[in-house]
Amino acid sequence: MRIMIGSMTLLLLLSACSSKTDDLHMDRLKKNKTAYKHLQKTQKAQLYDGNTTKAFVTATYLYPPSKRRSGEENDEAFIVGVYSDEDPLNQIGKAYHLTLEGEKPKGILSLPKESPSLNEMPFVTEWSSYYLVTFPHTTRKSFSLVFEHINYGKKEMLFSKVAKYTESKKAF
């Protein structure tokens, strides 16, 4: 009898603690839902000179599948953050170049640090420069964004319009 009462008490305590923890995590998830969605579409790349990082870039693909209608062709848009220890302006189009499947950007708009667009981004630092970069529409479901510098080479970041990971319907 004592063991049963002790077990019931332990289960009651554990269930009470876990529900509070779960509620805390759910509240955090609800508050940061947009940032978590953007995190799934964010890639990073670094360019090196030997073992030294010379440039660091983060790119977040802004693909709103629910807002596109059948047959509608919207530009492919990214928010790109660039940091370089050599170039205080970190400018895309000057020392650094971006291409999407070999195509140059249609537009590059510098974003100020206080831009509302940056509030929802998962990685924003004070020492990076941020841009809204648009490319012509592509019908491909997955594609690569290439970050390049004339002296330090290039890195490829892979993006997808569909989920990268899907759950299996099979029972194990």
Kindly report whether the global pTM for this prediction surpasses the value 0.85: no
What pLDDT shows up at residue 106? 93
What gap in Å lies between CA 99 and CA 113, rounded to an integer? 24
What gap in Å lies between CA 133 and CA 105, rounded to an integer? 7
Q: Is the pLDDT of residue 72 over 60?
A: no
SS3 53: strand
What gap in Å lies between CA 38 and CA 41, rounded to an integer? 5
Long-range contacts of the stretch 27-34 (C-beta < 8 A, 24+): 34/120
Note the pLDDT tens digit of each residue in 80-128. Answer: 998 887 765 556 767 788 999 999 999 999 999 888 888 877 778 788 8
